[in-house]
């Protein structure tokens, strides 16, 4: 495959489109065949997801036997393979494309975490159950599909190149038709002009999975709904002979129908197969039907697409004698195949940019994130980065791009941004639990609501409610100050925490309960998508309910307090995942200079918290290190109003979660992860890891002076062995930990954890 292929046809086709050739008739499609005194042959490629690799195996055999094709008609994956072939790509070039196509990314609409703005990263971390339920005055609404199709469009653009709008698909090296379904009328829609990428995407938009694509005023979904083997389309265009390749799914056996999903799949197969059987009735004795053996390959099994290609080859080879009747002499075939020849082209320079902004955000904000200017060169990398930076705002349903050439020969890049249609408020969720099977467990269910785009610069109101072991209510108003990068924020937070205390001898020290109301007024600077600096003033009012062990020393079981003062926060975050990061660094530092009032004493305090998390991956191996430093210091050494926690899985594994407490914490860990398996293609990637950790930390243990302010544990070693699963709803861990305890003893624990980041 030649270099620069992603843009070669993107340059060629705009020039062809300028010719404005009239829409071809059936006679025009078969014109070369008539001139060469041979039959006019159509290649019809059916739908079937990953099973479509068989189409490539058939095309290889067609080239091998010198069979010219005058028309390609495809549905779904057949439109994808057929569109590439009709665009002038040989079988070997299509094979290279298939091998390098990241199919798994096509089922992941959200950009990766390290591509999100920092605020979106934190929302994704806090509420990983991304149902994205729309909330408005009309009630609760769901998206029109699991996926928006944004990632699929990105793959198609990268595969086909920046095609311009075509006057007609008959202008392609081989005339082409894609078949889609009108969602409102259930009618067959034959796509024969416009954007080739959008035509193929519409034909591949599986209803209920990928949201419908609006094209020419119609809501379009997968063509397989009405015509999964579009023989009728080829027949209507007047071809003489047809080679049809059917790859529809076989019916499930009794033992395979184990769930409601399998029953639904079987019913869908009934409908599709009935339509395919009707299409097969249109074949004559001069036509050829190929049905590759694909019984072991499912529609979404793109990890085995090479096996599907081989099945297509074998099917075509079995019909080598029948295909021989379609073969042409070498001179005739070479004349036909010359339309596939193309040369490398120079990079495309963008002369003008047009933004079609169908959202409440400002054009200036979107163009700034696009990071392209007139005079820049159009490359797959630059347009991909720009569109993903726009999509990372998490406010758009779909962003499309189109490259065209006007009458003056100037190149125009048109970008259309469509805001989510089911907003403007959205709800997402979090489920968390941790259990060490020794009466120490934590659980929490949280829901978050975001009212988006309150200003052209992305102001929003966000609230969260959490129930469980630790409860909280949080609400905030975030308001960017135009395009300066600066913002203001006001937030209120109410929390109720219960903490089981334990000393280093594994003896229970009772429960410490804390209720607090806090108000934070701040201003900040979004330095980049990865960094933020924030300065604020906090007001806190709360109380502690002490366990009897400490209440007896202090003389009261209730400690009310008030705190106020400035705080500074800096965050740098390039992690690609918060659950199982494989690359990047996260540094978070918070410094507070507060006036504290408790137990009849007023003091000035300084408090700091710093955490560093870094990850690096080599093939299946990942090393992750984490360092944490927390420190509280007041004018009086015995006064320790603020407490930090340590203990639990990957936080001195072997101890119960948060069981060690104090005003100073130092902790470090090194974690090794080996990726055992990775789901290559599905709606969600969910790799499974084996891991082990080495940890060390210590805690200065004092509580309002109850232990004299000088009690510090020794440095403690700990470690763990575990399995981790990166599920779509949050991380799942099962592991065993062991830690030093005292001078010569140790503490061990078995952990089951879900939805908690470490």
The answer to whether residue 734 sits within a structural domain is yes
Same domain, 434 and 378: no
Q: What percent of the chain has pLDDT over 70?
A: 89
Question: Each residue of 42-68: pLDDT tens digit?
Answer: 999 999 888 899 999 999 999 999 999
pLDDT confidence bin for 33, thresholds 50/70/90: confident
Q: Which residue has the tokens 């630790």?
A: 470
Contact status, residue 213 vs residue 202, Cβ threshold 8 Å: yes
Q: Which listed residue (132, 170, 171, 222) is catalytic?
A: 222
For 351, other C-beta atoms within 10 Å of its C-beta total 15
In the prediction, which pLDDT does 712 show?
59
Do β-strands 208-210 and 145-147 pair in parallel, antiparallel, or remain unpaired? parallel
The answer to whether residue 271 sits within a structural domain is yes
pLDDT confidence bin for 686, thresholds 50/70/90: confident
Say how far apart CA 335 and CA 240 lie, in whole Å.
Answer: 20
Say how far apart CA 548 and CA 736 lie, in whole Å.
Answer: 32
Same domain, 320 and 368: no
Question: Each residue of 379-393: pLDDT tens digit?
Answer: 888 999 999 999 999
pLDDT confidence bin for 117, thresholds 50/70/90: very high
In the prediction, which pLDDT does 24 show?
44
Element (H, E) at 390: helix 380-391
The answer to whether residue 182 sits within a structural domain is yes
pLDDT confidence bin for 624, thresholds 50/70/90: very high
76 is a catalytic site residue: yes
Q: Residues 318-322: contacts with CB within 8 Å, 24+ apart? A: 319/288, 319/290, 320/61, 320/65, 322/288
User: Domain count of the chain?
Assistant: 3
- Kindly state the tokens that stand for 85: 């072939």
- Kindly state the tokens that stand for 493: 């937070």
Whether residue 709 is predicted with pLDDT greater than 50 in this model: the reply is no
Q: Which residue has the tokens 């003389």?
A: 555
Same domain, 437 and 394: no
Please tell me the least confidently modeled range out of 282-286, 379-383, 491-495. Answer: 379-383
Same domain, 54 and 98: yes
Contact status, residue 349 vs residue 378, Cβ threshold 8 Å: yes
Whether residue 177 is predicted with pLDDT greater than 90 in this model: the reply is yes
748 is a catalytic site residue: no
Question: Each residue of 55-108: pLDDT tens digit?
Answer: 999 999 999 999 999 999 999 999 999 999 998 888 888 888 887 777 777 777
Polymer length in residues for the chain: 758
In the prediction, which pLDDT does 178 show?
97
The answer to whether residue 449 sits within a structural domain is no
Same domain, 211 and 323: yes
According to DSSP, the residues that pair with 687 across neighbouring strands are none
Same domain, 594 and 668: yes
Q: Which listed residue (76, 577, 607, 747) is catalytic?
A: 76
Say how far apart CA 632 and CA 665 lie, in whole Å.
Answer: 9
pLDDT confidence bin for 263, thresholds 50/70/90: low
In the prediction, which pLDDT does 448 show?
98
- Kindly state the tokens that stand for 686: 């969910």
Question: Each residue of 650-684: pLDDT tens digit?
Answer: 999 998 888 888 889 999 999 999 999 875 545 56
Higher-scoring residue by pLDDT: 435, 343: 435
Contact status, residue 198 vs residue 178, Cβ threshold 8 Å: no
Whether residue 29 is predicted with pLDDT greater than 90 in this model: the reply is no
- Kindly state the tokens that stand for 76: 């779904």
Host domain of residue 153: 35-109+148-340
Question: Each residue of 151-166: pLDDT tens digit?
Answer: 888 888 888 876 556 7
The answer to whether residue 25 sits within a structural domain is no
In the prediction, which pLDDT does 9 show?
37
Same domain, 245 and 366: no
Same domain, 84 and 162: yes
Q: Which residue has the tokens 């309002």?
A: 704
Higher-scoring residue by pLDDT: 443, 110: 443
Smallest CA-to-CA distance from 53 within 242, 252, 305 is with 305
Question: Each residue of 122-162: pLDDT tens digit?
Answer: 999 999 999 999 998 888 988 877 788 888 888 888 888 76
Question: Each residue of 521-542: pLDDT tens digit?
Answer: 999 999 999 999 999 999 999 9
What CATH code is carried by the domain that includes residue 589? 2.40.160.50
Element (H, E) at 188: strand 188-191
According to DSSP, the residues that pair with 73 across neighbouring strands are 44, 177
H helices, E strands: number in the chain: 17, 35
The answer to whether residue 500 sits within a structural domain is no
DSSP symbols for 659-728: -EEESEEEEEEEEEEEEEE---SSSS---EEEEEEEEEEEEE--STTTTTT--BPPPEEEEEEEEEEEET
Say how far apart CA 701 and CA 576 lie, in whole Å.
Answer: 35
pLDDT confidence bin for 402, thresholds 50/70/90: confident
For 513, other C-beta atoms within 10 Å of its C-beta total 16
Over residues 199-204, the mean pLDDT reads 94
Domain final residue pick, 293, 316, 340: 340
Question: Each residue of 186-201: pLDDT tens digit?
Answer: 999 999 998 899 999 9
The answer to whether residue 284 sits within a structural domain is yes
Question: Each residue of 305-346: pLDDT tens digit?
Answer: 888 899 989 999 999 999 999 999 999 999 898 887 765 555
Domain final residue pick, 320, 340, 360: 340
Same domain, 332 and 367: no
For 144, other C-beta atoms within 10 Å of its C-beta total 18
In the prediction, which pLDDT does 344 show?
53
Domain final residue pick, 340, 357, 384: 340
Same domain, 96 and 203: yes
The answer to whether residue 384 sits within a structural domain is yes
Same domain, 360 and 241: no
In the prediction, which pLDDT does 553 show?
74
Same domain, 594 and 647: yes
Say how far apart CA 83 and CA 52 lie, in whole Å.
Answer: 13
């Amino acid at each position: 495959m030649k270099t620069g292929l992603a843009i070669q046809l993107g340059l060629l086709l705009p020039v062809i489109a300028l010719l404005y050739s009239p829409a071809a008739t059936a006679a025009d499609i078969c014109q070369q065949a008539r001139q060469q005194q041979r039959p006019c042959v159509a290649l019809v490629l059916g739908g079937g997801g990953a099973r479509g690799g068989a189409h490539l195996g058939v095309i290889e055999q067609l080239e091998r036997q010198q069979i010219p094709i005058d028309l390609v008609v495809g549905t779904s994956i057949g439109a994808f393979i057929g569109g590439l072939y009709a665009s002038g790509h040989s079988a070997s070039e299509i094979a290279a494309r298939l091998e390098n196509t990241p199919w798994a990314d096509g089922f992941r609409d959200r950009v990766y975490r390290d591509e999100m703005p920092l605020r979106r990263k934190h929302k994704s971390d806090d509420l990983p159950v991304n149902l994205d339920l729309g909330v408005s005055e009309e009630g609760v609404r769901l998206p029109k599909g699991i996926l928006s199709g944004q990632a699929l469009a990105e793959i198609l653009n990268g595969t086909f190149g920046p095609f311009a709008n075509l006057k007609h698909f008959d202008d392609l090296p081989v005339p082409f038709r894609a078949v889609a379904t009108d969602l409102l009328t259930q009618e067959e829609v034959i796509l024969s002009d416009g954007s080739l990428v959008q035509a193929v995407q519409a034909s591949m938009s599986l209803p209920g999975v990928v949201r419908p694509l609006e094209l020419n005023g119609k809501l379009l979904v997968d063509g397989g709904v009405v015509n999964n083997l579009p023989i009728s389309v080829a027949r209507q265009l007047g071809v003489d002979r047809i080679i049809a390749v059917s790859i529809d799914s076989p019916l499930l056996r009794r033992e395979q129908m184990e769930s409601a999903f399998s029953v639904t799949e079987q019913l869908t197969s009934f409908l599709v197969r009935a339509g395919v059987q009707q299409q097969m009735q249109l074949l004559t004795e001069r036509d050829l039907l190929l049905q590759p053996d694909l019984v072991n390959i499912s529609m979404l099994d793109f990890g085995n697409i090479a096996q599907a290609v081989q099945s297509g080859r074998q099917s075509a080879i079995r019909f080598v004698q029948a295909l021989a009747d379609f073969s042409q002499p070498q001179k005739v075939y070479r004349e036909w195949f010359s339309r596939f020849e193309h040369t490398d082209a120079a990079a495309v320079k963008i002369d003008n940019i047009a933004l079609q902004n169908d959202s409440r955000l400002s054009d200036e904000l979107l163009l700034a994130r696009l990071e392209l200017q007139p005079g820049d060169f159009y490359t797959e990398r630059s347009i991909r980065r720009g569109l993903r930076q726009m999509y990372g705002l998490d406010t758009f349903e779909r962003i499309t791009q189109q490259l065209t050439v006007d009458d003056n020969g100037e190149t125009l890049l048109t970008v259309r941004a469509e805001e989510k249609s089911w907003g403007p408020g959205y709800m997402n969720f979090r489920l968390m639990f941790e259990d060490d099977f020794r009466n120490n467990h934590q659980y929490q269910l949280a829901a978050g609501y975001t009212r988006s785009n309150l200003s052209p610069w992305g102001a929003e109101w966000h609230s969260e409610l959490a129930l469980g072991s630790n409860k909280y209510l949080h609400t905030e108003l975030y308001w960017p100050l135009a395009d300066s990068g600066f913002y203001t924020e006001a937030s209120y937070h109410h929390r109720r925490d219960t903490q089981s205390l334990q000393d280093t001898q594994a003896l229970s020290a009772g429960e410490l309960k804390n209720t607090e109301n806090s108000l934070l007024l701040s201003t900040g600077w979004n330095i980049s998508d990865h960094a933020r600096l924030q300065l604020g003033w906090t007001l806190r009012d709360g109380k502690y309910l002490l366990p009897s062990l400490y209440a007896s020393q202090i003389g009261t079981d209730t400690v009310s307090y008030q705190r106020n003062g400035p705080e500074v926060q800096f965050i740098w975050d390039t992690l690609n995942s918060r659950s199982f990061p494989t690359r990047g660094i996260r540094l978070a530092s918070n410094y507070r200079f507060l006036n504290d009032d408790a137990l009849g004493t007023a003091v000035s305090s300084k408090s700091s918290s710093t955490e560093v998390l870094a990850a690096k991956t080599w093939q299946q191996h990942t090393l992750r290190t984490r360092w944490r430093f927390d420190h509280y210091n007041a004018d009086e050494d015995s006064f320790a109003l603020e407490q930090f926690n340590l203990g639990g899985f990957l936080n001195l594994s072997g101890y119960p979660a948060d069981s060690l407490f104090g005003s100073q914490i130092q902790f470090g860990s090194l974690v090794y992860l080996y990726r055992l398996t990775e789901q290559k293609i599905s709606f969600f990637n969910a790799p499974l890891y084996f891991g082990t950790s080495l940890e060390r930390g210590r805690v200065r243990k004092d509580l309002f002076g109850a232990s004299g302010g000088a009690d510090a544990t020794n440095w403690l070693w700990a470690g763990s062995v575990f399995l981790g699963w990166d599920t779509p709803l949050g991380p799942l861990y099962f592991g065993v930990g062991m830690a030093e305890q005292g001078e010569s003893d140790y503490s061990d624990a078995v952990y089951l954890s879900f939805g908690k980041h470490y």
